[in-house]
């Protein structure tokens, strides 16, 4: 099935860096004819920090993009790049639309995750803050391997390891991204429940 959004050839040809932990970055992962404005317009209006599950507020373009991200072609691409088996690991995509000053602290992803992919959807981003930094250690946000801009189409994918440190400088404001995770099947129920509960309570604050 051909892609309508992702430039799979470009992503496939991007090399994985392995010195500190396995990751790849793509400055613009979309096909040339993708309607960027339509995608952003279909992104839910999220005015709170944290991750949210995809729900009825997402427009069709966002839903179709997520279908591609979670589809077999992109899964196979990730398997080939990271030399990992993902077939029996559920794919879960969550949305982030707002960054708080407390967000971006140095961290690694949960050990229940095998691969993480972040795709940014920010048009006309002119800020110096908010860019994701892939780090050499857990101590210094300025000791980074690479800084990934959160501009439209910017993508980073990494194998979740004990030292896949990442974070970004404090930033408050709109910051749109999709996060795709392949997680262990045993933790799927807990993962979904946590995000549903979190989204439920955030509507009151």
pLDDT for the residue numbered 184: 86
Instruction: Establish how many alpha carbons lie within 13 A of residue 82's alpha carbon, considering only the half-sphere containing its beta carbon.
Output: 24
pLDDT for the residue numbered 196: 44
pLDDT for the residue numbered 108: 96
> Which residue ranges form the domains of the chain, and what is each CATH number?
8-202 (2.60.120.620)
pLDDT at 203 over 50: no
| 195 contacts: CB under 8 Å, gap ≥ 6 | 51, 52, 53, 94
The model's pLDDT over 104-131, given as tens digits with 9 standing for 90+, comes to 999 999 999 999 999 999 998 988 889 9
Tell me if 177 sits within 8 A of 112, measured CB to CB. no
pLDDT for the residue numbered 200: 45
How far is CA 141 from each of CA 104, 146, 169, rounded to the nearest angstrom?
10, 11, 8
The model's pLDDT over 6-33, given as tens digits with 9 standing for 90+, comes to 999 999 999 999 999 999 999 999 999 9
In angstroms, the CA 196 to CA 190 distance is 10
């Amino acid at each position: 099935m051909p892609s309508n959004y992702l430039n799979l050839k470009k992503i496939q040809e991007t090399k994985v860096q392995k010195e500190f932990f396995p990751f790849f970055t793509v400055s613009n992962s979309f096909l040339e004819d993708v309607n960027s404005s339509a995608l952003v317009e279909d992104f839910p209006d999220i005015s709170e920090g944290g991750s949210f599950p995809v729900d009825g507020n997402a427009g069709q373009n966002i839903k179709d993009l997520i279908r591609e991200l979670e589809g077999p072609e992109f899964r196979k691409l990730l398997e080939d790049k990271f030399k990992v088996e993902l077939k029996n690991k559920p794919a879960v995509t969550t949305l982030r639309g707002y960054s708080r000053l407390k967000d971006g602290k140095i961290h690694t992803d949960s050990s229940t995750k095998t691969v993480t992919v972040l795709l940014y959807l920010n048009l006309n981003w002119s800020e110096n803050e908010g860019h994701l930094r892939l780090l050499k250690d857990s101590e210094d946000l300025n000791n980074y391997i690479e800084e990934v801009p959160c501009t439209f189409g910017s993508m980073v994918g990494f194998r979740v390891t004990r030292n896949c440190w990442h974070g970004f400088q404090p930033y408050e404001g709109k910051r749109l991204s999709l996060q795709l995770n392949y997680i262990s099947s045993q933790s799927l129920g807990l993962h979904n429940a946590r995000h549903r509960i979190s989204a439920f309570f955030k509507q009151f604050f």
